Amino acid sequence: MEHFLDCYLDNFKEAPRNSLYDRRTRKAMVEYINTLIEGCSAADDGDTEITCQTAVRTLVRYHQRAKASNGNVCMMGKYHNILYIAVRLCYLWGVKNLDIISELLRDIYSCEYTFERIIIGAIFGTRAPHYIAGWKSDFDDKEDNFRGLIYFLDKANKAKLEFPFELKKNETKLFRFIDLPIESCGKTSMVKLSVQLGLPDKLLFFTRFGALTSHEADDGDSLEFILNRLMEFNHSYPYNLVACLQILLRVTTKVTFKNTDKILKDVMMDQYESLIEDGIMPLSRSGFLPPELKHLCRCKIRECLWNNYNLPHRIHDLPLPDPLRKYIDILVD
């Protein structure tokens, strides 16, 4: 497999620098390499996993050699877009090798300092990246892109990957894949963006993977934001925003407010009394009653799993009945 792909890439060197800019060209290259993988794996006891790993590793090495030949500065164009051929192959064939996927993600981030080409299409749809950033998504549609995002989130979690991001000048912090600010969306996190757009289905997935609800790059806590949004509707609350609030309440013990010294229940009564009266905001998260012991246990278990990069895939290894596993996985209240 490696020999065939090296021969193909030798001819690829003569192609124009922008030869992989067009989505159709990238798709054709993926289809060609898919055919190589199928043919080579058939001759190698049908082990498509090993063959695909070899293909992805070869593409990553090609990018690294091109970068090294240019003073360790990525030449972008086809030399960088080759990595998105590898991204597509990993997703289509379900590559499980964490070392290979980690190397691929680190190489992408070292050149772009973002994963927007994997993230934006999953949230806004595959047409949005063309208008936001000028490139077209490598995924078929929004659902396909979202499944791809979940695939890479899961692998990044299992590999315990962290990436540096400059929040302010000379202030850099390490973030997990799921918490990386999205540069083209005002450095907003995936959680905050899902809340702003009222996307409870996306928010549920991100919080299950341990996404932070209070993020340094965001202007305030996501819970505070959704409470302010709900107050704008004067007792006629949109279902999607209420659903977002309910999901956020599953992973936190109480609301936190910036720039105030007041105790929680006083702030809630001063600013969000109608939400409490309408039963939208429970008393146990508003400072009037202590949170339920069952919920506190869930938060603590999730915290321990998060610290060890085990959300959500290790929840089902816990010696608990299935209903409790679903509860800890925030699938039910």
Q: What's the confidence (pLDDT) of residue 207? A: 95
Q: Shortest CA distance to 83 belongs to which of 51, 115, 46? A: 115
Q: Give the pLDDT band (50/70/90) at residue 126.
A: confident
**For range 37-50, the mean pLDDT:** 80
Cβ-contact 303, 293 below 8 angstroms: no
User: Is the pLDDT at 264 greater than 90, yes or no?
Assistant: no
The encoded tokens of residue 307 equal 């610290």
Question: How far apart, in whole angstroms, are the C-alpha atoms of residue 333 and residue 319?
Answer: 20
User: For the chain, what is the total number of helices (H) and then of strands (E)?
Assistant: 16, 2
Q: Average pLDDT of the chain?
A: 90
Q: Give the pLDDT band (50/70/90) at residue 135.
A: confident
Q: What's the confidence (pLDDT) of residue 255? A: 83
Q: What's the confidence (pLDDT) of residue 39? A: 87
End-to-end CA distance of the chain: 50
pLDDT in tens, 85-94: 999 999 999 9
**For range 171-188, the mean pLDDT:** 89
- Domain residue spans in the chain? 1-112, 114-173
Q: Give the pLDDT band (50/70/90) at residue 221.
A: confident
